[in-house]
Chains A and B, each alone.
Chain A
Amino acid sequence: MNFSIWKYINKSKLLIAMELLLFCIPFGFALFFTKLGMTGFSLLHTIVRFNFYVCFFVVIISFYVISSANRYGYKEVSEAIAGKAIYENSALIYISTLLFIWNIGMCIILIVCSNMNDGSSFFLRWFPLNYVCNITIPQLICIILTYIISYSENASRWIMSEIGFLFLISPFSEEIVWTRKPDFPIDAIWNAFRWPFAILYQNGEWSPDVQNDFQLEKVRLLVLLFWIILLLGLSILTVYKKRMGIVFVLCSFIVLAVSYHSSSLYRLNSSWNGSKADYWYYDVENKNLNYEPTETMNYRITDYDFEVSFDYELSVSGDIHMSSDEKRDEFHMTLYHGYNVNKLSPLDLDTKIQFSQQGDDINIKVNKPVDDLNLHIEYAGHHNKFYSNSRGALLPGFFPWYPMVGEKQIFLKYGEYGDMYGYNPYNRVAMTHFILRTNQKIITNLSRVDAGMYEGDSDGITVLMGNLSDCVDPLICDYLPLSLYKGYNKEAFVNEQKQSYIESLNKIKDFYGIDVSELEKKKILFASKDIGRNYTNNFFAVFGDYILAAPGYITCDSILHYLILRDSENRGTRENAAIIKLFIMSNFDDTPEVIAEELLEKLKYRKDNEDEYSEKIEDIEDWITVISKTDRTYFVRNMVQYIMNPMLYGDERDFLNKMREGL
């Protein structure tokens, strides 16, 4: 290394201009966003998203600088004077130092931004690893690759391969997805090919989740490690011509092979098996979305004793005790098909079982009728939305990430609610005793009885992990510190949620006259908004001992929709009532005047454009007249009671007549 030659590297005006751009544009924007009040998390996410363009620019600068000796013909003379790759090594250190300063500067801006705009100090201890893995290491990979290419005697030929590399790491190649399942699995081949190039944060369409990390899953870290070892090996091979480089290259491919390990990754793009995976599986492939109420089971699991580990993906090992009201030799359990049961065996020596896992169903056949069945179960796997790895977990109690007795409907289509889709938030188990052991710090509805051990009775276990903090409050269990901003700190968050909870319950109870006793005095677990993102009716769920909600979703609207849509028995009636299908789309957080006015507007539009709709609203004129003349509060209250219990009034015409009578 010869640092004294740096001043000759930096003589080019073009290089100085490029260096200025490299600093001025990102730093200018970062400072501007800081001034605008962006939180540290949002700013880091913005920088991470645009890191590809920084990397691209860094590659251009690096190639310009490092290939200079090769390009202008003083490489050999320099090497003869001062040793192998003397110029290239000095140039590499020069670029690395430049980037080091860039990264230090950006970190300082992030720290300042967090101090100015965040509502908690969580970001400051959270961001270094996320920053290094998403910004610094990809930049380093780019410059080391450029170093190797620049040193090559055929640099101009190799630069084409670097352009290919840049395309493959770019958001543009990330956008190459198959929205429909192809006949030949070309998508799987493409994804496997592209996987090693996923060194940058992958978020073409999916913005980050404050509970999850910036994709620091083990397999992604392994991909970064693969590149570091590979490039080290290639440097040794091409620059120093030492065979030891081959060892590094071979090691790197071993690391890469491990990185293909099945893993829970939060990468919901628009491919058929991305954010739409379950729509494709349940609606397109299985056509099984007609929600059937769970049969009244005469058997249940009364005890779960589970060891849960979060590594590449969820892995569970534990015992369950099943109890039946009458002796039987066949049992069914539901476990999401993304989890693979590796072992299911009886704990009682004189009992023998056979089991099969087909889709979400686990069928257990016992060699003799029994009323008690003790089983040991081991399973592992993941769901692409309800993630579970060593960095985070989003496992709601209503989702069968643990075996639930009977055949549960996991994914729903709400025919009466705009034909929208969602995960079934009403799946429950019978009130059961749970013991959960884990090596991670988790947030759960169960009580912590010892280090890594949680226990309690509930009708569903929710396990949350990641960027969450405990909250010492009688009502609220946790909060998401990265979502807090200046003026909205932990206290403000807790007060707002409590106030919203109380006001919503009061409004539903007092105004709509609906019994909300099941919602009262329950502790609240907050998960990130991603629990319900892109789906309907998944932001809020009530369990026997707790409420699971996304921040900001304990509202009259969320609760009322949750309660209305729970009534599966009357789903068919509601689907056939055109006025209900219009009214159910209302935002119940609005005032009755606004709700009624919006309904009126919709009806008038339907009347004027009747030809556009296949479904006709009978007596549309009468509806318009009645709503116009009825007291809005009276109408909205009665309408809510009607959709909560359609049988209360008979059919739509009866309800209309009732309202007319009130005029």
Chain B
Amino acid sequence: MEIVDLTKRYHKKNVVLGINLHLEKTNYGLVGPNGAGKSTFIRMLAGVVQPTSGEIIYDYGKNIGYLSQKFGCIPELTVYEQMEYFACLKKSTNTKWEGEINSVLKMVNLTELKNEKCKNLSGGMIRRVGIAQALLGRPGLMLLDEPTAGLDPDERKSFSDIIRKLKGTMTIVLSTHIISDVKNACDIMLVLEKGVLVGVIDLEKNNDRDIEDLYFSALHGMVEK
């Protein structure tokens, strides 16, 4: 997947500026201070915000799984019905639904709760529903915007495990402000500051260094892009 000179301007202010990036089938952790443009960048990749300029070239068609920052479910639906709703949007055929939904629910450990009404789920469970829906239809690109915000440590660990298990099956971009989540789940750290991509850090190559050091070095221009 290729991102060419991607820019977003709101009210004459550059929120994202000239990002050029090539994405492989691996897990990317997108980090940066508040207001760095992480969500805008992710939302542009998801297609819900139109870039002011630049281009996104999807190698595998626009088959995207997306979990938004404020993801929620329809309270009256069961987990299974909520998955059916997203499957409908993804235009999966009826015959495919059942098996695929069960499969993704199993991946996120929600099989036992599939008949539970969404209004009875905790925040962490809803995040898992969010990941499950993003996985529906075997996307080539999965975008997760602050998926661990508001989760307790156990839920965050469980979440990181799920993401790690998916490594290598698709391109995953995980936006977060919690550096440790990146360490647990991602191979490459993308550092954004004031809309500019200031660091693309291979975590395996730098596994001898503390990830927070890497992050701050990137912010201070001490890491090669």
Which A residues form the contact surface with B (CB < 8 A)? 2, 4-5, 8, 11-13, 68, 72-74, 76-82, 86, 241
Q: Which chain A residues border B70 with CB–CB below 8 Å?
A: 73, 76
The 4 closest A-B pairs by CB, nearest first: A73-B72, A80-B66, A76-B68, A80-B46
User: Contact: B85 with A8, CB < 8 Å?
Assistant: yes
User: Contact: B89 with A82, CB < 8 Å?
Assistant: yes
How close is B95's CB to chain A, nearest CB, in angstroms? 14
User: Contact: A241 with B50, CB < 8 Å?
Assistant: yes
User: Please, how many angstroms separate the alpha-carbon atoms of A607 and B143 in the complex?
Assistant: 96
Q: Which chain B residues border A12 with CB–CB below 8 Å?
A: 76
How close is A513's CB to chain B, nearest CB, in angstroms? 82
User: Contact: A4 with B88, CB < 8 Å?
Assistant: yes
User: Please, how many angstroms separate the alpha-carbon atoms of A80 and B73 in the complex?
Assistant: 15
How close is A572's CB to chain B, nearest CB, in angstroms? 78
User: Contact: A68 with B133, CB < 8 Å?
Assistant: no
Q: Which chain B residues border A73 with CB–CB below 8 Å?
A: 68, 70-73
User: Please, how many angstroms separate the alpha-carbon atoms of A68 and B118 in the complex?
Assistant: 14
Q: Which chain B residues border A79 with CB–CB below 8 Å?
A: 47-48
Q: Which chain A residues border B85 with CB–CB below 8 Å?
A: 5, 8, 74
User: Please, how many angstroms separate the alpha-carbon atoms of A73 and B150 in the complex?
Assistant: 15
User: Contact: B73 with A74, CB < 8 Å?
Assistant: yes
Q: Which chain A residues border B25 with CB–CB below 8 Å?
A: none
User: Please, how many angstroms separate the alpha-carbon atoms of A80 and B84 in the complex?
Assistant: 16
Q: A11-B76, A11-B81, A12-B76 are in contact. Are A78 and B89 (CB under 8 A)?
A: yes
Q: Which chain B residues border A11 with CB–CB below 8 Å?
A: 74, 76-77, 81
A83 nearest in chain B by CB position: B47
Q: B38 on the interface (CB 8 Å rule)? A: no
Contact with A along B185-199 (1 / 0, CB 8 A): 000000000000000
User: Contact: A72 with B72, CB < 8 Å?
Assistant: yes
User: Please, how many angstroms separate the alpha-carbon atoms of A80 and B47 in the complex?
Assistant: 6
Q: Which chain A residues border B88 with CB–CB below 8 Å?
A: 2, 4-5, 8
B86 nearest in chain A by CB position: A81
B66 nearest in chain A by CB position: A80
Q: Which chain B residues border A74 with CB–CB below 8 Å?
A: 71-74, 85
User: Contact: B48 with A80, CB < 8 Å?
Assistant: yes
Identify which of A72, A80, A82 gathers the most chain B CB atoms within 10 Å of its CB: A80
Beta-carbon contacts under 8 Å, B34-74 to A: 43, 46-48, 50, 64, 66-68, 70-74
User: Please, how many angstroms separate the alpha-carbon atoms of A12 and B76 in the complex?
Assistant: 6
Partner of A76, one of B43, B50, B77, B84: B43
Q: Which chain A residues border B133 with CB–CB below 8 Å?
A: 77
Q: A76-B46, A77-B66, A80-B66 are in contact. Are A8 and B74 (CB under 8 A)?
A: yes
User: Please, how many angstroms separate the alpha-carbon atoms of A80 and B46 in the complex?
Assistant: 5
User: Please, how many angstroms separate the alpha-carbon atoms of A8 and B89 in the complex?
Assistant: 12
Question: Beyond the given A76-B71, A82-B89, could you list 11 further A-B residue pairs with CB under 8 A, ordered by the A residue number?
Answer: A4-B88, A68-B74, A72-B72, A74-B71, A76-B48, A77-B71, A77-B86, A78-B86, A79-B47, A80-B143, A82-B91
How close is A499's CB to chain B, nearest CB, in angstroms? 66
How close is A6's CB to chain B, nearest CB, in angstroms? 10
Q: How many CB-defined contacts (below 8 Å) exist between A and B? A: 69
Identify which of B46, B84, B88 gathers the most chain A CB atoms within 10 Å of its CB: B88
Q: List 30 A-B contacts (CB under 8 A).
A: A5-B88, A8-B77, A8-B81, A8-B84, A8-B85, A8-B88, A11-B74, A11-B77, A68-B74, A72-B72, A72-B75, A73-B71, A73-B72, A74-B71, A74-B72, A74-B73, A74-B74, A76-B48, A76-B71, A77-B67, A77-B68, A77-B71, A77-B130, A78-B86, A80-B48, A81-B64, A81-B89, A82-B89, A82-B90, A241-B50
User: Please, how many angstroms separate the alpha-carbon atoms of A78 and B70 in the complex?
Assistant: 13
Q: Which chain B residues border A81 with CB–CB below 8 Å?
A: 64, 66, 86, 89-90
Q: Which chain A residues border B134 with CB–CB below 8 Å?
A: 77
How close is A609's CB to chain B, nearest CB, in angstroms? 70
Q: Which chain A residues border B67 with CB–CB below 8 Å?
A: 77
User: Please, how many angstroms separate the alpha-carbon atoms of A82 and B88 in the complex?
Assistant: 9
Q: Which chain B residues border A72 with CB–CB below 8 Å?
A: 72-75
User: Please, how many angstroms separate the alpha-carbon atoms of A72 and B43 in the complex?
Assistant: 18
User: Please, how many angstroms separate the alpha-carbon atoms of A86 and B48 in the complex?
Assistant: 11
How close is B174's CB to chain A, nearest CB, in angstroms? 15
How close is A94's CB to chain B, nearest CB, in angstroms? 14
Beta-carbon contacts under 8 Å, B73-114 to A: 73-77, 81, 84-86, 88-91
B81 nearest in chain A by CB position: A8
User: Please, how many angstroms separate the alpha-carbon atoms of A2 and B75 in the complex?
Assistant: 20
User: Please, how many angstroms separate the alpha-carbon atoms of A74 and B83 in the complex?
Assistant: 12
Beta-carbon contacts under 8 Å, B126-158 to A: 130, 133-134, 143
A10 nearest in chain B by CB position: B76
A14 nearest in chain B by CB position: B76
B45 nearest in chain A by CB position: A80
How close is A419's CB to chain B, nearest CB, in angstroms? 66
A3 nearest in chain B by CB position: B88
User: Please, how many angstroms separate the alpha-carbon atoms of A77 and B85 in the complex?
Assistant: 11
Q: Which chain A residues border B50 with CB–CB below 8 Å?
A: 241
How close is A523's CB to chain B, nearest CB, in angstroms? 69
How close is B136's CB to chain A, nearest CB, in angstroms? 9
A76 nearest in chain B by CB position: B68
User: Please, how many angstroms separate the alpha-carbon atoms of A465 and B86 in the complex?
Assistant: 58
Q: Which chain A residues border B90 with CB–CB below 8 Å?
A: 81-82
Identify which of B50, B85, B90 gathers the most chain A CB atoms within 10 Å of its CB: B85
How close is B198's CB to chain A, nearest CB, in angstroms? 26
B118 nearest in chain A by CB position: A72
How close is A403's CB to chain B, nearest CB, in angstroms? 63
A68 nearest in chain B by CB position: B74
Q: Which chain A residues border B77 with CB–CB below 8 Å?
A: 8, 11
B72 nearest in chain A by CB position: A73
User: Please, how many angstroms separate the alpha-carbon atoms of A73 and B71 in the complex?
Assistant: 5
User: Contact: A5 with B89, CB < 8 Å?
Assistant: yes
User: Please, how many angstroms separate the alpha-carbon atoms of A241 and B81 in the complex?
Assistant: 32
Identify which of A78, A81, A82 gathers the most chain B CB atoms within 10 Å of its CB: A81
User: Contact: B66 with A76, CB < 8 Å?
Assistant: yes
User: Please, how many angstroms separate the alpha-carbon atoms of A626 and B129 in the complex?
Assistant: 98
How close is B47's CB to chain A, nearest CB, in angstroms? 6
User: Please, how many angstroms separate the alpha-carbon atoms of A478 and B156 in the complex?
Assistant: 84
Q: Which chain A residues border B143 with CB–CB below 8 Å?
A: 80
